[in-house]
Structure 1
């Protein structure tokens, strides 16, 4: 941006004064979704080395209007956003983010319909944190208009109260909470999330994990309403609850309790935002992306993943790789071959930059085995949906199987089943049957609905080779393991 200094003589003194233009207003992307959009627009404009006036000329808007949009002082239309995205070559990122801005505005208007909006209510609703991947779904139940506004206006934080979160946790006994939060209680929440994650990885989410963790979640979210005199401890508490909610959301997803999973993951995202923890936010959006893709909504999954990458500079290389994997899986489901391969390449590049000690403990799962498994799953879909050559998927899935330890039985079983299905569809059916038998050994130890569905898919693919004895034996064993 070009700046000009002007010289003038102050009438009250003889010295010449130099007036220096003020720096552009610093943008806070946490103020609202519109503020987030404005900051991203400014980032893209500067990346393309355009001044506000230069961009305005291309869009037939004034430079002042561009600056007001960037500062969330003025709105714009979807058509204008599409033009911005095209001119700035943003690859659809601005359009996808604008859909979230519009959805948020619509949700706030709907929440306000029962009563007239007072000035105080309006200020409360302006307190949205970082951009949420999807507009929040209100919990079922008899919520007052004030509760509805609070839930929407606080980016989902209000959903943590026992009243508005009753559709997830229905408790019969009161929970004993301290009068003041102490460090050891925050540590207990972290320890609970670690233990639940270990159980979930070993046994899947459909067994004892979820009922055993329900009471822990009720107690942990209850702490958010307890007095916390230290500001840093409050941030730590929100981060700990976020991690617990993410772990429980992932576990509920594995158990196909999808409504509960969506609720937990929204809470995890909201708490991460409240804590200002971009790493936990990335983890929550990654799981929201994976669930959406699994449920047959890859476009929503792509939006979640790309929302997580909007400020990739704040993430570690492994976190960026994790989100690029989610993008790759969404794109593969959509049959976009070149875009999928590019996303896998971006993930590989990010992992190559990873170094020990960069990540939080919960990212410890993302090792070489997990990276090859996640990218292998995307390439698996590409091979079966788009007919892309399967050898890269085979190599990556086999590497994942070889390198997964016994602490990640479910991940190893999922990769094994995918490899068996891919080999059955494109390679040697006898080899595929042997791989499938080994995967069944581990699936039988799990309470994972995802793993069982993958086995059923393997049985379907086996149907064309059912006359081969080894394949027939595998199908019979699958029937014994998962039923007809």
Structure 2
């Protein structure tokens, strides 16, 4: 006979409070069984059960997935730091645990994958700010530590009294300009500083009066800029800033009902998670991006399937990697650039070859045939023009590393020297990290003079 659910004392501990809240949202608001919630959130039934009984250290990404499945407006993410955060980077000292909310949350009509955010009892948040933060997703972001704004301005700026069409156009042009600089020179240095200033301005615009007819365009423009700024932070390996900015961009894209921007944001979140060796999270983000894939262009689907392939490869799932590469290729074969939004222009044949090659590269380093990865990396190097200099350096460095690990170290050294010569003008910590990896692989050939020469140049160019 089934055991009755454990009765939790929400005041006994932050963990039991969190479990009680999750059970309330699941049963009383959403009316879901454990199995139904597990299917919606892509979280195992046992994990959810253990969270509810206060017997599991819930991960932040799991809390976010449960928020989305239950349409809480980010309540669990806001409470995660109170219940499980173990340091100041995770804990929200201003969060106050409240008793479970008595009523259901009413979805906002037409809103994309989001609902109105509930307000915890005991909140000391000013009423005017709470009104702004009723925007779903933005509320969850703003309740995280240090998120009342992403950055603090050096000096006050003069904002318009009301949003005008040319304010939105300025945001679009700023995003386009910064994206070009990022691709050509890398995201660190002056690009990162300029992007951060532009993001502060964009955040401030969301706090002022906006005519209803312009509201959707404003949120879409801020989402676009947030994607560019997040990508710059990612390239500078400022991972916390990148994640926060990507989530902000995703919230704005959903508020604008902009599926294309949303897909791009989740693609970047996936790539960052894979880069930081969190491939399971990367796969989740990629698959979230593919939600309602029928609304995406073939190019966008190829981009997201390539991210899935990279996640599977990092997890060592050979057949699933190859299958995802095949799905990416099939989607890209149907790509029509005239159907793509302007910010997808970068994802051409060279980019597709480079992205899928990264997945095949991981397989090759674990003993699988390196031929396909080498062929795609070579095509990417040839296809990337000067406008995408950073991508060319990344692909050339990966090609040199692949050959150094699986082939002729002399040939690898020649390719590596070319990559180093090109990398000199970049401000990209990602590229520097890949070059260090090349130096490490060259160090495995201590008796080869060309490999040794390359390793010494790597050390001189990008010291540890």
Q: Please confirm whether the aligned pair reaches a TM-score higher than 0.5, indicating the same fold.
A: yes
- 1:74: Cα distance to partner? 2.1
Change over 3 Å in CA distance of 1:159–1:150 after alignment to 2: farther
RMSD: 3.5
Distance 1:152 1:302 in 2: 29
- The match for 2:410 among 419, 425, 430 is 430
Q: Which aligned pairs between 1:64-463 and structure 2 lie closer than 5 A? A: 74-78=31-35, 81=38, 100-101=68-69, 106-107=76-77, 113-115=96-98, 123=105, 130-131=112-113, 144=125, 154-156=136-138, 159=141, 165-166=147-148, 168-231=150-213, 233-385=214-366, 387-463=367-443
Change over 3 Å in CA distance of 1:367–1:319 after alignment to 2: same
Cα deviation per residue 1:323-360 (whole Å; 9 max; x = unaligned)?
00110000000000000000000000001111231101
- 1:165: Cα distance to partner? 3.3
Cα deviation per residue 1:51-76 (whole Å; 9 max; x = unaligned)?
xxxxxxxxxxxxxxxxxx9xx85212
Distance 1:327 1:128 in 2: 29
Q: Is the 8 A contact 1:107 1:152 kept in 2?
A: no
- 1:279: Cα distance to partner? 0.1
Change over 3 Å in CA distance of 1:227–1:345 after alignment to 2: same
Cα deviation per residue 1:194-223 (whole Å; 9 max; x = unaligned)?
111111111111110111222221222211
Q: Is the 8 A contact 2:150 2:200 kept in 1?
A: no
- In the other structure, the counterpart of 2:92 is none
Q: Is the 8 A contact 1:410 1:451 kept in 2?
A: yes
TM-score (norm 1): 0.74
Change over 3 Å in CA distance of 1:372–1:119 after alignment to 2: same
Change over 3 Å in CA distance of 1:300–1:73 after alignment to 2: closer
Q: Is the 8 A contact 1:125 1:154 kept in 2?
A: no
Larger Rg: 1 or 2? 1
Change over 3 Å in CA distance of 1:481–1:411 after alignment to 2: same
Q: Is the 8 A contact 1:124 1:153 kept in 2?
A: no
Distance 1:80 1:168 in 2: 32
Change over 3 Å in CA distance of 1:272–1:462 after alignment to 2: same
Cα deviation per residue 1:98-125 (whole Å; 9 max; x = unaligned)?
68536956336668854557779x7589
Distance 1:423 1:298 in 2: 24
Change over 3 Å in CA distance of 1:336–1:125 after alignment to 2: same
Q: Is the 8 A contact 1:332 1:381 kept in 2?
A: yes
Q: Could you say what secondary structure the match of 1:228 adopts?
A: coil
Q: Could you say what secondary structure the match of 2:32 adopts?
A: coil
Change over 3 Å in CA distance of 1:158–1:384 after alignment to 2: closer
Do residues 480 (structure 1) and 460 (structure 2) align?
A: yes
Count of aligned residue pairs for this structure pair: 397
Q: Could you say what secondary structure the match of 1:354 adopts?
A: coil
Distance 1:338 1:149 in 2: 49
Structure 2: unaligned runs, 5 residues or longer: 1-25, 43-63, 83-94, 118-122
- In the other structure, the counterpart of 2:23 is none
- 1:131: Cα distance to partner? 4.5
Change over 3 Å in CA distance of 1:152–1:427 after alignment to 2: farther
TM-score (norm 2): 0.77
Q: Is the 8 A contact 1:125 1:153 kept in 2?
A: no
Change over 3 Å in CA distance of 1:463–1:314 after alignment to 2: same
Structure 1: unaligned runs, 5 residues or longer: 1-68, 86-95, 137-141
Distance 1:180 1:145 in 2: 22
- 1:145: Cα distance to partner? 9.2
